[in-house]
Amino acid sequence: MKTSVLFLGGGVVSPPQREEWGASCAFGRLNGINFVVDAGIKPKLSRKPEFSTPNFKLIQNERVDIIFITHAHADHVGALAVLAKQHPNAQIWMTWHTADLAETLLSSSLSYLKHKRPEELLESPPLFSAEDLTALKKRIQIAKPEEWEVFESAAGRIEFCFWPRGHLPGNSAVLLKAEGAALIFGSDTYSVELPTVEAAKPLPQDFLQLRPVLFTEGTNGATFHLDRKIEEARVTSFVREVNRRGGNVLLPAFSIGSAQNLVITLAQAGIPTLLGGKIAWTAMRSDAYLPFAERLKDHIHHLEGWDLQRFGKEERGRTVVASHGMLEHGSISHSLLRDWMADQNNAIVLTGYQAEGSLGRYLQTRARPDQRIYFPMNDDRITLKAEVQTIRLSSHDDLRHLVEGAISCRPREVVIGHADEINYRSLSRRLENCGLKVQRGENNREFEFNF
């Protein structure tokens, strides 16, 4: 049997493009069924929407029978309402936690439009409307993890399964099979237990006997992680030290996943922590995180946006986890950075990925103590005196786990996406040394496989 997969987004990114990978999306054909896996946006939403979403133009004249969403991060689900509107007859499947968190993410992104000026909306129009989101929610079907489902039409028949892969509540690899052909869309994967989600589960052996084609991420394909428990202990120890000297600690974090893991880690260590950001706080009240929020309610509190100005200038000895994770302009983390960075008693702790060109990456790699940093949106310069620490708490597999995971799948081929050039080359070289055939997942490229 012949099957094909076309990358609409989420491919390997090479310099000198200087664009961040994202907008994960793949269109495939298997046994007569046309499917899509994920529909994300890029982490840094560009002003022109066509550069933020996957290249949906490539399938505008194609029939889409079914859409699978692996998890509720923006680079995997942020453009789903757009795709769903373009293909109104497609079924849409995801796990319960993914549906719950995706609704939080997409609904909150619409609410931000209320605070934009008309000229800003003209420069960066919304990708979808409230009506589009309402229509989308009515079409979502919930998959039970580890249970096989069948999709059948006059055109053909496939079986599919969502398999837990750590990283985020509800996150799953999508397993597809039909007539002896098998595909694994590995999603983002984390093989270590997190405060809020179990480690990735090994894939089922009976399925792996089909020798599937594996589509895998390469986010940390050139990185080896330190032990997460040790790194979490470093974070809590450092935060206590700064608080004791009367300093505030800012921990920028992405709204869904990393923010909750951070605040729960700190609260479990007995450190009172404020969580800033509407999406982050709403997600904290979702089914995935509410049990932790209730159990640790004496140590987890909401930093209200309306109180931010007074809080930023007056409070001492506070710990705040706030979005955006890369300190982008307009976010709570960006505002607190400006208020706190001139005080040597304060500290900024960067625990997550920092995109090239972001303020977080600049602080991490180029900023020096007592350097005056220019904020163009405010047209002012502030001297950096606060301590900047990087303590990595990635929830993506590192090189060792990526290689071990790929080998365990016994794949006939591996296609690497969701990576920059350095990470792709490192991971592909290791996999090829292990005897695996590897292909580079490039946007707008179609792959064909014979089973």
- Tell me, what CATH number does 260's domain have? 3.40.50.10890
Of 46, 147, 26, 50, the C-alpha closest to 96 is: 147
**Mean pLDDT over residues 56-81, rounded?**
96
Q: Which of 374, 390, 406 is the last residue of a domain?
A: 390
444 in the same domain as 314: no
**Mean pLDDT over residues 211-238, rounded?**
96
308 in the same domain as 263: yes
Q: How much is the mean pLDDT over the chain? A: 90
Confidence of residue 306 (pLDDT cuts 50, 70, 90): very low
Confidence of residue 243 (pLDDT cuts 50, 70, 90): very high
243 in the same domain as 196: no
Summarize pLDDT for 127-171 with one digit per residue, the tens.
Answer: 888 999 999 999 999 999 999 999 999 999 999 999 999 999 999
Confidence of residue 42 (pLDDT cuts 50, 70, 90): confident
In this prediction, residue 124 carries a pLDDT of 62
In this prediction, residue 187 carries a pLDDT of 86
Which bin fits 341, alpha (ψ -120 to 50), beta or left (φ > 0)?
alpha
49 in the same domain as 182: yes
CATH number at residue 108: 3.60.15.10
Question: 352 vs 396, which has greater pLDDT?
Answer: 396
Confidence of residue 19 (pLDDT cuts 50, 70, 90): low
Of 178, 209, 222, the C-alpha closest to 411 is: 209
**Mean pLDDT over residues 164-191, rounded?**
97
Q: Which of 355, 372, 390 is the last residue of a domain?
A: 390
248 in the same domain as 127: no
Residue pair 421/12 in contact by the 8 Å Cβ criterion: yes
Confidence of residue 412 (pLDDT cuts 50, 70, 90): very high
The count of domains in the chain is: 2
In this prediction, residue 330 carries a pLDDT of 78
Of 271, 255, 275, 259, the C-alpha closest to 393 is: 259
User: What is the Cα–Cα distance from 134 to 136, expressed in whole angstroms?
Assistant: 5
Map residue 169 onto helix, strand or coil. coil
Check pLDDT > 90 for residue 313: no
Confidence of residue 293 (pLDDT cuts 50, 70, 90): very high
In this prediction, residue 121 carries a pLDDT of 44
411 in the same domain as 319: no
**Mean pLDDT over residues 411-417, rounded?**
97
134 in the same domain as 271: no
Confidence of residue 256 (pLDDT cuts 50, 70, 90): very high
Confidence of residue 45 (pLDDT cuts 50, 70, 90): very low
Check pLDDT > 80 for residue 46: no
Burial group, residue 189, by CB count within 10 angstroms (0-12, 13-18, 19+) = buried
In this prediction, residue 80 carries a pLDDT of 97
**% helix, strand, coil for the chain, step of 5:** 35, 25, 45
372 in the same domain as 332: yes
Of 178, 336, 352, 335, the C-alpha closest to 261 is: 352
236 in the same domain as 362: yes
Check pLDDT > 90 for residue 320: yes
Q: Which of 375, 390, 405 is the last residue of a domain?
A: 390
Confidence of residue 110 (pLDDT cuts 50, 70, 90): confident
Residue pair 322/275 in contact by the 8 Å Cβ criterion: yes
Domain range for 30 is: 2-223+395-450
Question: 187 vs 117, which has greater pLDDT?
Answer: 187
In this prediction, residue 353 carries a pLDDT of 82
Confidence of residue 351 (pLDDT cuts 50, 70, 90): very high
Report the percent of the chain where pLDDT is more than 90: 76
Residue pair 188/417 in contact by the 8 Å Cβ criterion: no
400 in the same domain as 293: no
In this prediction, residue 305 carries a pLDDT of 58
Question: 223 vs 47, which has greater pLDDT?
Answer: 223
Check pLDDT > 90 for residue 37: yes
Report the percent of the chain where pLDDT is more than 70: 90
In this prediction, residue 88 carries a pLDDT of 97
In this prediction, residue 44 carries a pLDDT of 56
129 in the same domain as 93: yes
Count of beta carbons in the 10 Å neighbourhood of residue 288 = 24
For 103-218, where are the E strands, in sequence order?
Answer: 140-142, 149-153, 156-164, 172-178, 181-185, 213-217
333 in the same domain as 372: yes
Which bin fits 22, alpha (ψ -120 to 50), beta or left (φ > 0)?
left
